[in-house]
Amino acid sequence: MIKLVATDLKMQFEHRTLFEAKHLHFCQGDVVHLRGDNGSGKSTLMKILAGIQTPTQGKIEAQGFQPGPWWRSDSLLGKALYLHQHPYLYDGSVEYNMTYALPAPLREQPDIKQRISESILHAELGHLLQQNATLLSGGERQRLAIARAYIMQPKLLMLDEPTSNMDKDSQQLVLNMIAKLKHQGTGLLISSHQSCELTQLCHQEWKIAQQQITTSANVTSSYQPLSTIASSQSEQTKQEQQYVSAN
């Protein structure tokens, strides 16, 4: 079973304890709502699980993944993909930004080509492919970031407030793509300080409150699935490249 296991986790900034947790399991197939007030530490926890940030204390193990290359000292990097709240985009076309992390030979594989086409369709980016990505609106940037993740189909994906500041239509597109990833077996950790349509996809909840992370399994997922589905720097980008090379 592919999973990340965190034990005796503690995060402090100077003398301020942000959160502690005895045990956290994030497994492929899990769909978890990470809940907590603004500033409670949701983004920090995701960055720790992505291997981008080091906790003050505790151990995080990646289990069930293929062994990384010998030159990678940090075994956590590249395991779970972290989608930043404000995705970093290169100064290049939307099309370039969608595929830059994929080595050229991979882009020619039929299944990858298929996923690229699907992601363009689902994210409704077809008319923007040649536009410079730095000129996209906030909602379009998020759609592009989700489209990149969709192409890579990670085993574990962490989404940081993925629909904040989006209009209804963009929210629906992103919701549909995330639902598709869920049904394809990607483990999802979705941060949101409140319940919304997106968090209704989740069947577990992790809550950060009073500096403790508590978990509850088997929250009922009330999402009605797929019948309606039509057919920053650089932490994120480095990570995506590492993700590709690690898988």
Ligand X SMILES: Nc1ncnc2c1ncn2[C@@H]1O[C@H](COP(=O)(O)OP(=O)(O)OP(=O)(O)O)[C@@H](O)[C@H]1O
Contacts of 234 (CB under 8 A, 6+ apart): 88
Nearest to ligand X of 114, 232 (CB atom): 232
CB of 157 to ligand X, least distance (A): 17
CB of 135 to ligand X, least distance (A): 25
CB of 37 to ligand X, least distance (A): 7
CB of 15 to ligand X, least distance (A): 11
47, 125, 130, 143 from 42: Cα distances, Å: 9, 29, 34, 21
Nearest to ligand X of 39, 103 (CB atom): 39
CB of 7 to ligand X, least distance (A): 20
Query: In the chain, which residue ranges form alpha helices assigned H by DSSP?
Result: 42-50, 94-99, 104-107, 110-122, 138-152, 168-183, 235-246
- Give the span between the Cα atoms of 143 and 167, in whole angstroms: 12
Nearest to ligand X of 15, 127 (CB atom): 15
Is the distance from CB of 239 to CB of 82 less than 8 angstroms? Answer: yes
Nearest to ligand X of 39, 225 (CB atom): 39
Nearest to ligand X of 43, 199 (CB atom): 43
Could you tell me whether strands 156-160 and 80-83 are parallel, antiparallel, or unpaired per DSSP bridges? Answer: parallel
- Give the span between the Cα atoms of 142 and 22, in whole angstroms: 33
* Positions that interact with ligand X (CB under 6 A): 13, 18, 36, 38-44, 193
Phi–psi pair at 3, nearest 5 degrees: -160, 160
